[in-house]
């Protein structure tokens, strides 16, 4: 693992990144047909990239590119060198497979251990990890990194909130790692169990480590006040190392970026041109050290700000701001990402007569809490009375199985579909 660039001047950091970048481009040119063809079309050789301005001639990599080369078209190593595979989805719901070598896995684990350490987690802590491991494989890294630094691990997966609270109190957990949505659910369960008298509940919890979805300010305050613990977030990209790209320190003034492994750019979401320092734009990341699945100028779809001023904690290096919004229509329901196009493909695969639909996302504390789906069929046709219940149940069960969460489904006339737009705390999304 390359040494951290914290403490280096910005010129030294950029020089180190440029050296890493040139090695990455050589690996990609030699081993990934997709990138070699791109460079050949541009008349570029890896050695031609001598500056970051040169590098900006390189086209962006998109979610669609990843899906188009499913399953192994973007791998830079033979499959026998890959020790872990992770499946995710592109923005239209098409599958994407990400691979990791043994070295990639160790890098992933080391970066997570660094994030633990910068939040003061030590071998005296008891770390309770409450994630759905099948939907968020990055949860395994929370486990391995906790063990690496010598902390006591209490993996609780997605057991009920009531059991989470019992584990938290019986094991005397000091750190809880989970999604913001599930943390809110745990707090709600605690309030109900104690009739709102949270102050009477003894807890050793001192830190909530939340991801992969953003943590709105109102959620932070709710959890901090309710659980009397520090609340900090992590940042990851499902098509890369997740978590580990960046994470907050105890100063809470941004997400420290692992710059020796990731090159970050902020570009205008429409033009793709760099924006002035300190202005918001779309985050574009290049993996400088990934062996199996290198990504060059990957458009994450996350809008944020890159800060290069020193942090209040005393560390230098670049930090990401909060994720302000998406450039696409990705949703997050109880911490699980999905896309309207993905849902539409599922629905129309089950019933080709579906002509239109709307997604109604209900939010609490800034988080997607549950999803309603309103479906219209061609010519206003209704489901047959004798099969209506079974057909709706099949749609609901298929959506739950594919998406990982339940949704309420209703067949309505096309004229009764709401217009797109924002209404109170419910978001209406057109297809």
pLDDT in the model for residue 430: 41
- Residue 409 pLDDT exceeds 80: yes
- Residue 423 pLDDT exceeds 70: no
In a domain, 2, yes or no: no
Please, what is the average pLDDT of the chain? 90
pLDDT in the model for residue 424: 35
Higher pLDDT, 7 or 52: 52
State mean pLDDT over 151-170.
92
Residues 19 and 52 in one domain: yes
State mean pLDDT over 187-194.
87
In a domain, 112, yes or no: no
For residue 317, give the CATH number of its domain.
3.40.50.12780
Separation in Å, CA 151 to CA 50, 108, 408 = 44, 17, 41
Residues 242 and 93 in one domain: yes
Q: Could you tell me whether strands 325-326 and 331-333 are parallel, antiparallel, or unpaired per DSSP bridges?
A: unpaired
State mean pLDDT over 29-35.
98
**330 backbone φψ class: left, alpha, beta (φ>0; ψ -120 to 50):** beta
pLDDT in the model for residue 385: 57
- Residue 422 pLDDT exceeds 60: no
In a domain, 1, yes or no: no
- Residue 233 pLDDT exceeds 90: yes
- Residue 415 pLDDT exceeds 80: yes
Report the domain count for the chain.
3
Q: Quick check: pTM over 0.95?
A: no
- Residue 3 pLDDT exceeds 70: no
State mean pLDDT over 329-346.
90
By residue range, what is the domain housing residue 349?
331-429
pLDDT in the model for residue 116: 96
pLDDT in the model for residue 426: 42
Of 208, 235, 262, the residue at which a domain comes to its end is 235
Closest CA to 210 of 255, 266, 171: 255
- Residue 234 pLDDT exceeds 80: yes
53 HSE (CA, 13 A, CB side): 0
Residues 207 and 245 in one domain: no
**Which DSSP symbol is given to 61?**
B
pLDDT in the model for residue 15: 94
Closest CA to 306 of 266, 272, 247: 266
Cα torsion 218, 221, 226, 229: sign: positive
């Amino acid at each position: 693992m390359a040494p951290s660039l914290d403490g280096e001047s910005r010129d030294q950091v950029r020089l180190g990144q440029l050296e890493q970048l040139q090695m990455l481009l050589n690996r990609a040119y030699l081993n990934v047909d997709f990138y070699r063809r791109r460079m050949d079309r541009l008349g570029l050789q890896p050695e031609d990239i001598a500056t970051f301005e040169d590098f900006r001639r390189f086209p962006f990599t998109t979610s669609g590119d990843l899906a188009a080369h499913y399953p192994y078209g973007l791998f830079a190593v033979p499959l026998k060198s890959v020790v872990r595979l992770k499946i995710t989805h592109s923005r239209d719901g098409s599958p994407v497979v990400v691979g990791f070598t043994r070295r990639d896995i160790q890098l992933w684990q080391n970066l997570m251990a660094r994030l633990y350490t910068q939040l003061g987690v030590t071998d005296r802590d008891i770390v309770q990890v409450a994630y759905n491991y099948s939907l968020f494989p990055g949860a395994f890294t929370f486990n391995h990194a906790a063990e690496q630094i010598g902390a006591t691990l209490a993996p609780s997966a997605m057991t009920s909130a009531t059991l989470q609270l019992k584990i938290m109190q019986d094991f005397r957990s000091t750190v809880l790692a989970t999604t913001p949505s599930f943390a809110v659910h745990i707090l709600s369960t605690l309030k109900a169990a104690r009739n709102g008298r949270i102050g009477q509940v003894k807890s050793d919890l001192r830190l909530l480590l939340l991801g992969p979805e953003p943590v709105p300010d109102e959620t932070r305050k709710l959890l901090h006040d309710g659980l009397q613990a520090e609340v900090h977030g992590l940042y990851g990209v499902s098509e890369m190392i997740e978590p580990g790209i960046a994470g907050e320190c105890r100063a809470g003034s941004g997400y420290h970026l692992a710059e020796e492994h990731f090159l970050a750019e902020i570009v205008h979401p429409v033009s793709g041109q760099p924006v002035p320092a300190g202005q918001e734009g779309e985050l574009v990341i290049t993996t400088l050290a990934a062996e199996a699945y290198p990504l060059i100028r990957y458009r994450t779809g996350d809008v944020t700000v890159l800060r290069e001023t020193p942090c209040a904690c005393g560390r230098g290096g670049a930090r990401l701001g909060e994720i302000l919004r998406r450039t696409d229509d990705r949703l997050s329901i109880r911490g699980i990402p999905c896309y309207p196009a993905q849902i539409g493909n599922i629905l129309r695969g089950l019933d080709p007569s579906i002509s239109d639909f709307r997604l109604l996302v209900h939010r609490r504390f800034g988080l997607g809490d549950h999803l309603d789906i309103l479906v219209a069929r061609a010519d206003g046709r209704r489901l047959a009375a004798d099969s209506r219940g079974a057909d709706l149940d099949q749609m609901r069960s298929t959506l739950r199985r594919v998406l990982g969460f339940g949704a309420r489904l209703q067949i309505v006339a096309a004229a009764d579909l709401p217009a797109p737009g924002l209404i109170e705390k419910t978001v209406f999304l057109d297809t």
